[in-house]
Amino acid sequence: MRASESKEPSRHQFPCGQCGALLVYAPGTEFLECVYCKHKEPVPSLLTQIQEHDFRSALNELVAARRTDAVRQPIQVTNCDACGASFEFDNDIHSGECPYCGHAIVLETGAEKLLKPKSLLPFKITEAQAKQHFRGWIKRLWFAPNGIKKYARDDNRLSGVYLPNWTYDSHTDTNYVGERGDAYQVPQKVVQVIDGKRVVRTVMVTKIRWIPVRGTVARFFDDVLVGASRSLPRQITDRLQPWDLENLVPYQEQYLSGFGSQAYQVELDEGFEYARETMNSIIRGDIARDIGGDAQRIHRFDTRHSGTTFKHILLPLWTAGFRFKDKAFHFVVNGRTGKVQGERPYSPWKIGVAIVIGIILVVAGVYLFDYYSQYQQTNPVRMPQITPGYRY
């Protein structure tokens, strides 16, 4: 089949055993729930263990697949069992709603992707709870315009979506070259002005003695998390951490029913480069501690990775946006903890007032300090004289 040809990926819909409508996953539970009759059915329990996968082997498989042109980009055409409509899904989306009747549909996880998600964190907080966290976030924003609160209305609908992520485990051994700095003090003569007179005084000055060093540090990194979606800015999604990755469950389509889900857009090897940056910042701290002393200089270091493994996981987010003064702002809510991150407007008037108040406080502080210093010079504190033999 050519890449331009369409094909129908396997799809999953979960009919209600009581009224025949379709079931969706109920956040914070282990059940699918009918949105009409509220009938519930349990999500099947799997005893499958969450496994790590060898990073190098997966890269070799991906290279081989590209050489044989095995990885295709087909148009995902599917049918809805509820209304019978036929429609296309975006290639990066593998769960969502029928555009005609709104019923939940879960497709095969990234039909054109060789690597499939094997585990996920189900939604834990509901849409209503996510709205409460958003309203609290809005109220706590510094320098926000006064009128922004009315844009956090209850009728604003949030979209639940599972975003793809990579996690990486790796053992690292790092050789480094640098310098250790040890502080010592030497006397030094300085000229100071005291009571209007130039006085030469001797003070102790701290200096650093640098000694060349080299060494090796080792560290095992566990579950370094890297977002694999490009639909949201990385600086926003990264600040949603921490995630309770110890509670990952095996991937099941039931958890996606009623929610959107994306296939990864950041490739496995590209994600590892982001992970290396995170690891290197931590390794630098290890090197500084290993060098010791009062100061450190790191000239260069070389890190070897071994036993590197990865997981492809899905993490839950509530996402939405609002418009304020003809400008769009987006925000996301961690679907497990309720932590909110996003774009926000600022009030120039409030910032200007804060700057003016800050300047006034600084000027007042300088004035009071000068006034006190002059007062001390003109009214020195006199110590009482003690007369020998007199009992106070």
Domain boundaries, the chain: 1-45+72-112, 351-375
Condensed to tens digits (0 to 9), the pLDDT of residues 318-372 reads: 987 766 666 666 789 999 999 988 765 555 556 666 677 878 888 888 777 776 6
Residue 234: predicted pLDDT? 86
- Residue 271 and residue 230: Cα distance in Å, rounded? 12
Report how far residue 81's alpha carbon sits from residue 14's, in angstroms, rounded to the nearest whole number: 10
What is residue 93's three-state secondary structure? strand
**pLDDT score for 392:** 43
- pLDDT-derived band at 10 (thresholds 50, 70, 90) equals low
**Predicted confidence (pLDDT) per residue in 140-185, tens digit:** 666 555 555 665 555 567 889 999 999 999 999 999 999 999 999 9
Cα–Cα distance, 267 to 225 (Å, whole number): 14
d(CA 163, CA 167): 13
Is residue 29 within 8 Å of residue 42, measured between CB atoms? no
Task: Identify which has the larger pLDDT, 305 or 15.
Answer: 305
Average pLDDT, the chain: 80
pLDDT at 190: 83
Model-level pTM? Answer: 0.75
The predicted structure's pLDDT at residue 13: 79
Q: Is the pLDDT of residue 242 over 70?
A: yes
Out of 52-61, 76-85, 224-233, 246-255, which region has the weakest mean confidence (pLDDT)? 76-85
Q: How many CB atoms lie within 10 A of CB 171?
A: 13
Give the tens place of pLDDT for each residue, 250-296.
Answer: 999 999 999 988 889 999 999 999 999 999 999 999 999 999 999 99
Q: List the structure tokens of 86.
A: 């036929």
Q: Is the pLDDT of residue 83 over 90?
A: no
Distance CA 356, CA 178 (A): 46
DSSP letters, 107-142, are E-TTTT-SS---EE----S-HHHHHHHHHHHHHH-T
Question: Strand, coil or helix: what is 153?
Answer: coil
Task: Tokens for 40, please give them.
Answer: 């519930």
